[in-house]
């Protein structure tokens, strides 16, 4: 139930981003028609559109050391693995900012 609700919210979010891309494209066309655009504005809009089209979701887990970040990530994303994928123990463990990536086209 909660999973279906979350999935639905992601669909709504994705639709909102698509609509926003459309509005920004319209805005860019209007700027061009009115001859109000320049190279810098065009570059900024292109950059913004690229970011919106990427549709990448970034979730950050931030806290002091040994507060359970790694354990929480293991529980949320890797509960089915039956073992801790991220090392987690008392004291400083991870030691540096760590980035985990997932993409359906990337090898697992
Ligand atoms: N009792 C209890 N212990 C927890 C909980 N979450 C984490 N721990 C324990 O707290 C300790 C630290 O957890 P970590 O997940 O390694 O903490 P961290 O925030 O990733 O720490 P650093 O990587 O050092 O920044 C580990 O021994 C965990 O097993 C919890 O909800 N309850
Ligand atoms: Mg950690």
Threshold 0.85, pTM exceeds: no
Task: Locate the ligand 1 atom nearest the alpha carbon of residue 74 and give its number.
Answer: 15
In ligand 1, the atom with minimum distance to the C-alpha of 63 is 19
Nearest-CA residue for atom 3 of ligand 1? 68
Tens of pLDDT, residue by residue over 39-57, are: 999 999 999 999 998 878 8
Q: How far apart are the first and last CA of the chain?
A: 28
Residues with CB under 6 A from ligand 1: 63, 65-71, 88-90, 92-94
Q: Over 70: is that where the pLDDT of 108 sits?
A: no
What's the gap in Å between 60 CA and the centre of ligand 2?
13
What pLDDT digit, counting tens, does each position of 51-94 carry? 998 878 889 999 999 999 999 999 998 989 888 899 998 989 99
Residue 77: closest CA among 59, 98, 65, 96: 59
Atom of ligand 1 minimally distant from the CA of 61? 19
Element (H, E) at 12: helix 2-33
What is the tens place of the pLDDT at every residue in 1-40? 777 888 899 899 989 999 999 999 999 999 999 999 999 9
């Amino acid at each position: 139930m909660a999973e279906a609700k979350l999935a639905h919210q992601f669909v709504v979010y994705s639709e909102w981003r698509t609509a926003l891309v459309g509005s920004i494209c319209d805005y860019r066309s209007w700027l061009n028609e009115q001859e109000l655009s320049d190279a810098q504005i065009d570059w900024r809009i292109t950059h913004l559109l690229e970011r919106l089209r990427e549709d990448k979701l970034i979730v950050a887990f931030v806290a002091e050391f040994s507060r359970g970040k790694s354990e929480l990530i293991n529980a949320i994303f890797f509960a089915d693995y039956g073992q801790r994928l991220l090392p987690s123990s008392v004291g400083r463990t991870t030691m540096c900012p760590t980035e985990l990536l997932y993409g359906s086209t990337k090898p697992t």
